[in-house]
Amino acid sequence: MHFFELLVELLLMPILAFVIGLAMVLMMRRIGARIQRRVGPPVLQPIYDIIKLYSKETQISHGLMHEIGIIMAVGGYIAAETLLPVPGLDGLADKGGAVTLAYMLMIPALGMALGVGQCANPNGSIGISRALTAMLAYDIPFILVIFGVSYVYGTTNLAEMITIQQQQGVASWGIVQMPLLALTALLILPAIMGKHPFEIYVAPAEIATGPMVEMSGKFMGGLFVMQCFQLYTAGVIFTTLFLGGGLYWITFLPKIFLVVAIPMSVAYLFPRYRTEDVLRLMWKWPMLLGLIGLAVVMK
């Protein structure tokens, strides 16, 4: 029965996303380590981290909203994953679409912001202020990309985008049709993932003045889980929009890992940007590229 199939898909998609996300975290840390001439963590390190965080004895909660915030952060991503079609699993792709997804992804951010706010640590609030500013920075070029792609494919439905690209071969891939937009997306990808060099608000060095300041134990663990989803989501979106998605996992997986790996490798070469500089940067080059790209695709 179709309905039950769908239910299973919905159950499966977040789990898959989590697992792949864990692998991505590992890969990212490895890449970072290699660039810094370190060995890097072992394969199961991300899992160890999560288990460690969840099993800590001091789990300090600052109130109900603090907890709900974390739940919103994780839950939002879990829900968002069902909107992301992957090989064999379309999930709710036909019920939402790219715009819905883009907005759905703001729910975790909001959840986290609320949770941190409840912690009543002014430093946490400062971190949130920075995080939201960064979001403002990268979302504007991101939305340009979404618009361009939707316009070119004539739909906002991600599953349909994949079908179009798959049916018409590599020449119809987004990256061929609209290279400038793809480049834009690639530029802002680290920011979407909340990674180097746009991660000053969550950077370890800034922990005392970041959202994480009051996070400990399973709160931190929740955020770690969220991070896995974040990486996965960014990778899948880019792949879907520009690299033809995938009919089979075998072609799909390399694409998404590649998408995450390439910007990571380049980004580690840059120092962290200050929040204002993130804004300045994002509103300058990606915006410019995106606008030109749009002009090109719309003629």
Partner 1 sequence: MTALDNLLLISAVTLVIAVLAGNSRVGGWLVTIMYALQGAALMMMSGLGYSTLTMVQSSFSIEVLSQQLLWRFDALSWFFALITIGAGLFCSWFASGEWGEKYRDNGGSLRLFHGALALNVFSMLVLLASGDLLTLFIGWELVSWASFLIMALAGGKAFGYAMRYISYAFAGAMALLGGLLLIYAEVGSFDFQSLKEAVPTMSSATLWLLVVLLTAGFGVKMAILPFHLWQAKAYAETPGPGAAFLGAISSRMGLFAFIVVIVQLIGISRLVEMKIPFTFLDAQDLLAWIAVFTIIIPTYIALRQHDARRLLAWHGVGQTGYMLLGIVIANDLGSAGGLMHVFNYATYQAMLFMVVIAVIHRTGTSNLNKLGGLFTRMPLSYLAMLVGIIGLAGLPPMNGFVSKWLIYRSLIVDGSPLLFLGAVIGTLGTILSVYKLIHNIFLGQLRVEHVAVREAPLSMVIPMMLLAAVVFVTGYFPGLVLDWTSAVQASIGIPVLAHHLGGIDMKGGLDMIWIVSVLLVGFGFGTLVFFLGGRSKRVHQLDNYAGGHFLTAETRYHYSDNFYPGLMHLIGPWYRNSFEWLERGLISAVDTLSTAMQGLYRNAHPSYLLLAVVVFALSWVIV
Residues 208-267 that bind partner 1 (CB under 8 A): 208-209, 213-214, 217-219, 221-222, 225
Q: How near is the Cβ of 57 to partner 1 at its closest, in Å?
A: 7
Q: How near is the Cβ of 43 to partner 1 at its closest, in Å?
A: 22
**How is residue 39 written in tokens?**
């060995």
Considering only residues 168-207, where is the footprint of partner 1 by CB under 8 A? Answer: none
Q: How near is the Cβ of 228 to partner 1 at its closest, in Å?
A: 12
Query: Is the Cβ of residue 114 or residue 262 nearer to partner 1 in the bound state?
Result: 114
Task: Pick the piece of the chain touching partner 1 (CB under 8 A) from 29-37, 142-150, 190-198, 249-257.
Answer: 142-150
Cα dihedral sign, 96-185-138-118: positive
Total interface residues for partner 1 by CB under 8 A: 89
The binder of partner 1 chosen from 151, 249, 257, 285 (CB under 8 A): 151
From residue 3 to residue 42, the character string flagging contacts with partner 1 as x (rule: CB under 8 A) and all else as - is -------x---x----------------------------
**Cβ-contact 114, 65 below 8 angstroms:** yes
Considering only residues 153-172, where is the footprint of partner 1 by CB under 8 A? Answer: 154-157, 160
CA–CA gap between residue 142 and residue 286 (Å, rounded)? 9
Query: Is the Cβ of residue 53 or residue 202 nearer to partner 1 in the bound state?
Result: 53
Q: Does 292 bind partner 1 (CB under 8 A)?
A: no
The one-letter amino acid code at 184 reads T
Query: Is the Cβ of residue 35 or residue 207 nearer to partner 1 in the bound state?
Result: 207
Q: How near is the Cβ of 47 to partner 1 at its closest, in Å?
A: 13
Considering only residues 50-109, where is the footprint of partner 1 by CB under 8 A? Answer: 53-65, 67, 70-80, 82-83, 92, 94-97, 99-100, 103-104, 106-107
**Cβ-contact 116, 105 below 8 angstroms:** no
Considering only residues 107-136, where is the footprint of partner 1 by CB under 8 A? Answer: 107, 110, 113-114, 117-123, 125-126, 128-130, 132-133, 135-136
- Residues 100-121: b if buried by 16+ CB within 10 A, e if exposed: bbbebbebbbebbbbbbbbbeb
Query: Is the Cβ of residue 55 or residue 168 nearer to partner 1 in the bound state?
Result: 55
Q: How near is the Cβ of 20 to partner 1 at its closest, in Å?
A: 17
Angle between the N-to-C axes of helices 122-153 and 217-242, in degrees from 0 to 180, rounded to the nearest 10: 20
CA atoms within 13 A on the CB side of 183: 15
Q: How near is the Cβ of 1 to partner 1 at its closest, in Å?
A: 16
Q: How near is the Cβ of 33 to partner 1 at its closest, in Å?
A: 28
Give phi and psi for 2, each to the nearest 5.
-60, -40
Angle between the N-to-C axes of helices 179-193 and 249-267, in degrees from 0 to 180, rounded to the nearest 10: 70
* CB contact set of 282 (below 8 Å; sequence gap of 6+): 137, 138, 140, 141, 188, 191
DSSP 21: H
Query: Is the Cβ of residue 31 or residue 237 nearer to partner 1 in the bound state?
Result: 237
Q: How many other β-carbons are positioned within 10 Å of the β-carbon of residue 68? A: 15
Q: Closest by alpha carbon to 252, among 93, 88, 87? A: 87
